[in-house]
Structure 1
Amino acid sequence: MSDDKKITVTRTIDAAAADIFDVLSLPARHVELDGSGFVQSVDHGDRITAAGQTFTMNMSGDHMGGDYRTDNHVTGYDSGRLLAWETAPAGTEPPGWQWVWELTPQGPDSTEVTHTYDWSKVTDQDLLKKVSFPLVTKEQLDDTLGRLAAAVSGG
């Protein structure tokens, strides 16, 4: 599902929701999950355990002129079910895009994973002129779900 300011992808992964959440809630694992190629490494980030936490990632992309850092402000947390964060250039307040992971158990070893990239709250006209949203495609989000499936299966 997608609209003009949001892309959502869903996949059923053969793993328990708790195991998937364990991978998603550790920022150090995000480089291996990232289907966009922007995430390079974790700069600072303990395991996510609550809304209000912030983790910082080292990134790289032509849209930002090369290497840069982002602060990711955790806005949603429900252990085993929901993880969401708003991303901002390091040291700034989030300008309005967020990443949402929703996990719906389908049994003890199967979980429907929904991943949403939402930039609907971006209102800064200068930013909208500078950045061509979406920066990440549906195909890259699908790739991220494939990488997550491989990460939890140990493959």
Structure 2
Amino acid sequence: MAGTTGEAVVAVSRRIGARAGEVFGILSDPGRHLDLDGSGMLRGCVRGGAVSGVGDVFVMRMHYERYGAYETNNHIVEYERDRRIGWETRPGRGHPDATAPVRAWGHRWIFDLLPDGAGATVVTETFDGSRMPEDRRTEVTEGRAWWQTQMAGTLERLAELCAAR
């Protein structure tokens, strides 16, 4: 596992013993995200089956100590089957930022998959906060170690899910 950071970007990589298509199948199904969550913030999928391309939206139930229970609306912004999937998270029902006009957070979760020999894939999870308003970007840069730990946990759970298949 390796971790890298930029000003408002945090990335963690891990080699997983599964083909890219298997890994992508899990990542592209929001119903499986609760099984992956290394942060403990996810509570389940409200709406959305497996995503099939840019423009799809899925809604997740979340809980964060500062906000309590809320939902996020996740817009697929990057999609290359078996190689890359990314979504931009926006505040949903119950979140204090979900009032009119909706203030987009601008951050993205991206998973890059790089085949690595027969039956293995290097998966890089990236939290890209470079599009966030400056006052929000501080949360990413100051909490970098926390983000890396949570992301490493997600990749560990992903590896376990793939091994169980």
TM-score, with structure 2 as normaliser = 0.85
Question: Which residue among 76, 94, 101 is the counterpart of 1:74?
Answer: 76
Question: Which residue among 103, 107, 121 is the counterpart of 2:131?
Answer: 121
SS, match of residue 44 in structure 2 = strand
Off by >6 Å, runs of 4+ in structure 1 = none
Unmatched tracts of structure 1, length 5 or more: none
Match of 1:10 in 2: 13
Root-mean-square deviation (CA, aligned residues, Å) is 1.9
Residues 133-155 of structure 1 show CA distances to partners (whole Å, capped at 9, x for unaligned) of: 34851011001000000011117
Question: Which residue among 38, 41, 47 is the counterpart of 2:41?
Answer: 38
Q: Give me the whole-angstrom Cα distance separating, in 2, the residues matched to 1:124 and 1:74.
A: 23
| Deviation of the 1:82 alpha carbon | 0.4
Unmatched tracts of structure 2, length 5 or more: 93-97
Count of aligned residue pairs for this structure pair: 151
Q: Give me the whole-angstrom Cα distance separating, in 2, the residues matched to 1:63 and 1:151.
A: 30
Q: Give me the whole-angstrom Cα distance separating, in 2, the residues matched to 1:143 and 1:59.
A: 17
| 1:116 alignment partner AA | T
Q: Give me the whole-angstrom Cα distance separating, in 1, the residues matched to 2:161 and 2:103.
A: 31
| Deviation of the 1:118 alpha carbon | 1.0
| Deviation of the 1:124 alpha carbon | 5.9
Q: Give me the whole-angstrom Cα distance separating, in 2, the residues matched to 1:102 and 1:110.
A: 13
Conservation of the 8 A alpha-carbon contact between 1:95 and 1:124: no
Question: Which residue among 115, 122, 132 is the counterpart of 2:139?
Answer: 132
Percent sequence identity is 32
Range that drifts further, 22-31 or 131-140: 131-140
Q: Give me the whole-angstrom Cα distance separating, in 1, the residues matched to 2:105 and 2:134.
A: 7
